[in-house]
Homo-oligomer: A and B are copies of this chain.
C-alpha cells in the first residue's frame, strides 16, 4: 500500500533548447514548445523542475545595482563584511531576518522563510552590462509562480503536471549546495508517512519525506550551475497521489528547530 507515491523507474529529461529568458516571457508557452520540439509526451503526474533563475527573469526580477540607494544600516553592515552596500541593501530588503554574517556573506531568512546565503541574490547566469552590476532576485512569491505555471499548463495541455521551482542552496553542517524547492504546485512538497507500515508490519512513528526537495536535488544534477543551459527538467515515473502542499510546507518554524 503506497498512499504517498507510485514509483517504478524515474527518468529525468533535460529540455534542450530553452532560449535565454527575458522579462515578460511566458514560461508555459516556452515549456510547451520545448516539450514538443524535444518530442516528449505529457502524462498526468509528470513533474517539471524549473530553475529559479528563469522564473525570476521572466518576472522581471533583474536589478541593476546602479539604481539602488543603500540605507545607513546597509552601509554599516556592508563595511563590516566588505560587501557592496547596494547589494547589502537588496539582500536586507528581501529578508525578514539576518541569521549570521561574515566577510562577503550574509545568511538570512527571506520573506518566504527560507534560510539562505545572500537572500539567493546572484550574479551568475545573469546578462551583464559593462560594469557587471546586474543581479537577479528570487521570485517574489515562488509558490504563487509555481501555481500560475501549473494552472496555465493544465488549461493549455489538459494534463495535471507538478511544477517545482528550485534553487541551489547551502545547508548547515554540510559542504556544497543542493537543489532545493522554493515553489511547489500540483504535488505535495512533503509526504507524511506516519502510520505507514515497514517491511515487518510495524507502523512508522515519525516520518516525513521532503519529496519536493529530493526531486529538486535530482533535477539539479542535470541543470548544473555553470553553462549547461538546461534550466528545465521533465521528471517522469514519480507520481504522487496526495493533494498539493506548497513549498511553504517545507519551512520549519524556527522556534521549533532542534537542529539549530
Contacts and interface: CB of A to CB of B under 8 A. Distances in A.
Contacts of A27: none
B202 A128 contact: yes
Interface string A183-200: 000000011010011111
A63 interface: no
A111 interface: no
A229 B190 CA distance: 21
A226 B173 contact: no
Contacts of A226: 2, 193, 196-198, 204, 207
Given A174-B250, A176-B208, A202-B132, A218 B214 contact: yes
Given A14-B7, A259-B107, A208 B171 contact: no
A17 to B, nearest CB: 14
Given A105-B258, A173-B260, 9 more contacts: A12-B218, A102-B258, A172-B257, A173-B251, A173-B259, A175-B250, A176-B191, A193-B226, A217-B218
A31 to B, nearest CB: 17
Interface in A195-247: 196-200, 202, 204-205, 207-211, 213-215, 217-218, 220-222, 224-230, 237-238
A150 B132 CA distance: 45
A9 interface: yes
A124 interface: yes
Contacts of A254: 173
Contacts of A79: none
A175 B210 contact: yes
B127 A210 contact: no
Contact of A198 (B179, B199, B227): B227
A171 B5 CA distance: 22
A235 to B, nearest CB: 9
Contacts of A10: 11-12, 218, 221-222
A12 to B, nearest CB: 4
